[in-house]
Chains A and B, each alone.
Chain A
Amino acid sequence: MDDKIKDPAADAAEQLSGGEIIAAIKDAGVEYVLSVPDLHTSYGLLMPIADDPDLKLIRVCKEDECLGISAGLSYGDKRALILIQYTGFLYAQNAIRAMAAEQKKPICLMIGLLGKPPGVAPQDAKRIGVRAVEPYLDFMGIPRQLIETDEDLPVIAPAIDDAYKNQHPTAFLIGRRPVAP
């Protein structure tokens, strides 16, 4: 086969569906999405979430607000997903340290790795900020999952469910731009 001709099945296997991510977070009982926009996930995730009547989107001004709001919501058994870019994740480290690492609140982070080419591991990315995400999460003791294709999606709902049932944080790294539903 001419290697310049792409296999349509291979393309399908390598896509990341925003609609399927949204379905997964709904399956996990997420009611609130707290977000600062991220070019990486804006079209495929944030805009569809904003239009979804089953999800309540709170647009915040800075990422650390999400940590406080999510912690407060957890006292009413309201589940939240924090949708931010890796730069915002880095910005919010002190709040993540306090609420996720020390207080073990069920903080669920979905972090867009803007600029990471699909198929390249985060630790091999050109951008130092992208390379820093996994070590920061590991240092904070926050479990992480790389979400790169639709094949990775089944981990999302159980991980969120476990975070809330067992009171601990969790993180998903969005490794390629999700496709809008």
Chain B
Amino acid sequence: MMNRMDCLKILAKHVTDEIVVATYSSATDWMAINDRPLNYFAFGAMGLASSHGLGLALARPEKRVIVLDGDGSLLMNLGTLVTIGAVQPKNFVHFVGHNGSYEANGGAPLPNRDVDFAAMARAAGIASCHTFTELSDFEAKVGDVIKAEGPVFADLLIEQGPLSNRDYSEMHSAARREAFREALDAGM
């Protein structure tokens, strides 16, 4: 079992000019580690981070898109795996923080925390699938994972994070979206 912050700190060492799409708890943790213009936050309609990411990957094929999803979020939009498996975006990497709970909503458990997301993704047509349970393994492989030909899916088995209230308002703002667009248009 890993800690999400630890995973994201390791990931941040490998992120350069990629678009990072993050949602809810992953978003606030990622912001604390790596606040940058090419962060895109998917709030307001839970479950759609990977759909936003797919649109961005198609719109910007010259960029790699890394999605930081949650397990509760993914369960609200499981069909996305089938859609991504059909579209096969080569520049798309989908991480899921798998802690078995709706952490952003107070920590209530998922209907089944032991669901095998990597198996689901593979069955949906995503050939490159991983499950990480140990930080050392994640640290050794994540650099290759985010550079591999997509679509790539990786399930990160993590412990539940703090249940304190998180403030999404700034990340959810129009100014943040505009800064993201400006960064893209500037070729960052």
Interface residues on chain A, number (Cβ under 8 Å): 29
Q: Which residues of A contact B52 (CB under 8 A)?
A: 68-69, 71-72
Give which listed residue, B57, B80, B174, contacts A103 with CB less than 8 A: B174
- Asked if A77 CB lies within 8 Å of chain B CBs, one says yes
Is B58 within 8 A of A62, CB to CB? no
**Does A145 sit within 8 A of B, measured CB to CB?**
no
B110: Cβ under 8 A from any A Cβ? no
The chain A residue sitting closest to B80, CB to CB, is: A65
Nearest neighbor of A60 in chain B, beta-carbon distance: B83
In the complex, whether A64 has a CB less than 8 A from a CB of chain B is yes
Instruction: Output the nearest chain A residue to B83 by Cβ-Cβ distance.
Output: A60
B109 an interface residue at 8 Å Cβ cutoff? no
Q: Whose C-beta in chain A lies nearest to the C-beta of B47?
A: A64
Q: Which of B24-32, B114-122, B135-143, B177-185 contacts A (4 or more CB under 8 A)?
A: B177-185
The answer, among A32, A61, A68, for a CB contact under 8 Å with B45, is A68
> Would you call A94 an interface residue if the criterion is a C-beta within 8 Å of the partner chain's C-beta atoms?
yes
Partner of B79, one of A62, A75, A99: A62
| Interface bits B44-59 vs A (CB < 8 Å: 1, else 0) | 1101111111111111
In contact, A73 and B59 (Cβ under 8 angstroms): yes
A67 touching B51 by the CB < 8 A rule?
A: yes
Contact present for A78 and B45 (CB under 8 Å): no
Within 8 Å by CB of B77, from A62, A78, A99, lies A62
Considering only CB atoms, which chain B residue lies closest to A78 in the complex?
Answer: B59
Cβ B83 vs Cβ A72 within 8 A: no
For the A-B complex, the count of residue pairs with Cβ-Cβ distances under 8 Å equals: 96
A29 to chain B minimum Cβ distance, whole angstroms, is 14
Asked whether any CB of chain A lies closer than 8 Å to the CB of B11, the reply is no
B79 touches A61 (CB 8 A): yes
Contact of A75 among B54, B60, B78, B80 (CB under 8 A): B60
User: Which chain A residue lies CB-closest to B62?
Assistant: A76
Decide if B87 is an interface residue (CB 8 Å cutoff).
yes
Tell me if B79 and A70 are in contact (CB < 8 A).
no
Say if the beta carbon of A98 comes within 8 Å of chain B: yes
Nearest chain-A residue to B76 (Cβ)?
Answer: A64
Q: For window 35-74 of chain A, which residues contact chain B by CB distance below 8 Å?
A: 58-62, 64-74
- Tell me how far the C-beta of B3 lies from the nearest C-beta in chain A, rounded to whole angstroms: 28
**A72→B84 CA distance, assembly (Å):** 14
Name the residue in B40, B47, B180 with the highest tally of chain A Cβ atoms < 10 Å from its Cβ. Answer: B47
Among residues 83 to 117 in chain A, which have CB atoms less than 8 Å away from a CB atom of chain B? 94-95, 97-99, 102-103
Asked whether B33 is an interface residue with its Cβ less than 8 Å from the other chain, the reply is: no
CB-based nearest B residue for A104: B174
CA distance A77 to B40 in the complex (A): 16
Known contacts A58-B87, A74-B59, A76-B59, A95 near B48 by CB under 8 Å: yes
Distance A69 CA – B87 CA, assembled complex (angstroms): 12
Residues B83 and A64 in contact, CB atoms below 8 Å apart: no
CA of A67 to CA of B51 in the docked complex: distance in angstroms?
8
With an 8 A cutoff between CB atoms, is B42 at the interface?
yes
Q: B145 an interface residue at 8 Å Cβ cutoff?
A: no
Between-chain CB contacts (< 8 Å), 10 pairs: A32-B58, A58-B83, A61-B78, A64-B45, A69-B83, A74-B55, A75-B180, A75-B181, A75-B184, A95-B45
Chain A to chain B: the 9 pairs with minimum beta-carbon distance, closest first = A72-B55, A76-B59, A61-B79, A68-B51, A98-B44, A68-B48, A72-B56, A69-B55, A95-B45
